[in-house]
Structure 1
């Protein structure tokens, strides 16, 4: 938006003419001219009154210049011409065109005020109706908010109650877990104690129509610990945990007392020490010497202790411990001959090694 230099008010692009020299703008009414009276060519060359007043009135190139030398030495003569003062012409303002259609700013403001008043009056009813609807909606919203607030309070109270109940259930669950762990420990202990009179023979080849009782008696003869029929309460092979394994089924034998079982185990340990280069093997039980393989005699362990024993052997290989053995249903580990024995109570002990 530009400002007219005559009245210092804003002017739109179709209300003013711009000076081609100083770029100043003037309202057509301020210049007392009408836009239709100016051709496009005249508008493109138009100059404001200020710029027009600064132009030279005429060319004075034909006027003789006064010489700098004295008059007596100059070879020229001067003409003394006395000009008659031009008669002053009265300045008359250009009469405005009677066909120009102009309106004063004050009248324009009044017209605008009247038009705005009419518009506001026509829309007053519509605005009142709209505000009434908004007021009703706000009232309904306030009621809904109050309802939701009450419901939220009830939900919060119920949540606190449920939270308290959950905490109680968690505590009860923790107590039950502890009790279950204790019962499992007792059950494993009872299971292991029930095996106090049993031992296992592993890696003994299988034959058709074999007599496992005779195999146990042959064990007693080999290790120099006689075993009679009344010393054996039960003897049989057990099923494999992994059916795809090629290893022979284990023979489990239950003796008349834990003392008898311990005597057999002690005799096996003594035999292996005395025959360190030829420990207990399949040839001692009458199998083919060309297919000679070691035979192991160990205490009978519960399922959980067997898993712990396997994990202990694996951990011993990783840590390069030399000894892992079982004594009275408990598993021990030792790094070498001079180190202390470590009782493997559970898997957490293995994790700490």
Structure 2
């Protein structure tokens, strides 16, 4: 276990200390006022005979030959009177000794404080350096994270801009595709409500329909007639019939004839019995063949018109129109945003 310095009361971590020969107290070199070089070159006899400051300041004992009784006896036995030699410590000497001791103690305390402060400063400096290193490391991490964040923000902004451009391009392409698909259907009509039969003849059925509504249509005007697959496989309604006619003019003539027939026969609108089909009496609907996009838009417009009490929703030449009443202006539904304009 390292000894404790009798001066600064701090453990001496190394072997550089010296012990007082009189009080056996250990002192480090700073409190002993000895530098390391002098200590290393000091002979063993000098180290063994070294005394601390407290032991050196103690007054040595003197003989009592000059006591007052002896002085009186000497003065009576001698013919001449000799003034006795005084060995007493005077007040002035005590003051000087006290001042000297005080100065030495102040110097020792100052050296001790300096040493303690120096040690503490070294510890604090080391901690500050470690803190600065940690702070520098964290600062580098923060800068790196900030750079990454800036790059991420820049990339996000670029992706957002690209997304806006791509969305606009997709919308434009969707509109063009819808227009193209509708153009390919400009001569088509869509017939719903005709029951399916295994041996049915769809061209004859279409010709019979044209005859019933009094439409001027011939066999050469009918290019192709077929049924299309159901969107809802669970639906029990018959599949829709799509007929491709020779021109849009023939299509419009047939649609106008169906409209006039239903208008004149409000109680007996076009149904399966008019086409000579046995079984239940089911209404037959004839309309323009819309593209999938326009068909969905038409359904949404009809639903919106029903909620807002619009009286008229119709399709002409692949375009969807709505009108709230007879006096209001017609509104063309071009896209889902147009439906929001319905109030």
Which deviates more from structure 2 when the two are superposed, residues 164-173 or residues 296-305? 164-173
The match for 2:245 is 255
Tell me the SS of whatever aligns to 2:146.
helix
The match for 1:327 is 316
- Total equivalences in the alignment: 232
Offset at residue 178 of structure 1 (A): 0.9
TM-score under structure 1 length normalisation:
0.60
Give runs of ≥4 in structure 1 deviating > 6 Å: 124-131
The match for 1:146 is 136
Q: Deviations over 1:70-125 (max 9, x none)?
A: xxxxxxxxxxxxxxxxxxxxxxxxxxxxxxxxxxxxxxxxxxxxxxxxxxxx9x99
Contact 1:197 1:254 in 2 (8 A): yes
Aligned counterparts of 2:270 and 2:326: Cα–Cα separation in 1: 22
Offset at residue 151 of structure 1 (A): 3.5
Aligned counterparts of 1:165 and 1:295: Cα–Cα separation in 2: 57
The answer to whether 1:295 aligns with 2:281 is no
Alignment of 1:1-353 (within 5 A): 132-288=122-278, 291-353=280-342
Contact 1:321 1:334 in 2 (8 A): yes
Contact 1:217 1:226 in 2 (8 A): no
Aligned counterparts of 1:265 and 1:287: Cα–Cα separation in 2: 21
Unmatched runs of 5 consecutive residues or more in structure 2: 1-111
Q: Superposition RMSD on alpha carbons, in Å?
A: 2.6
Offset at residue 310 of structure 1 (A): 1.0
TM-score under structure 2 length normalisation:
0.61
Offset at residue 350 of structure 1 (A): 2.2
Q: Deviations over 1:287-324 (max 9, x none)?
A: 237x2121110000111111111112212221222221
Contact 1:216 1:227 in 2 (8 A): no
Offset at residue 181 of structure 1 (A): 0.9
Aligned counterparts of 1:334 and 1:169: Cα–Cα separation in 2: 41
Tell me the SS of whatever aligns to 2:158.
helix
Aligned counterparts of 1:322 and 1:349: Cα–Cα separation in 2: 17
Unmatched runs of 5 consecutive residues or more in structure 1: 1-121
Offset at residue 132 of structure 1 (A): 4.6
Aligned counterparts of 2:224 and 2:332: Cα–Cα separation in 1: 30
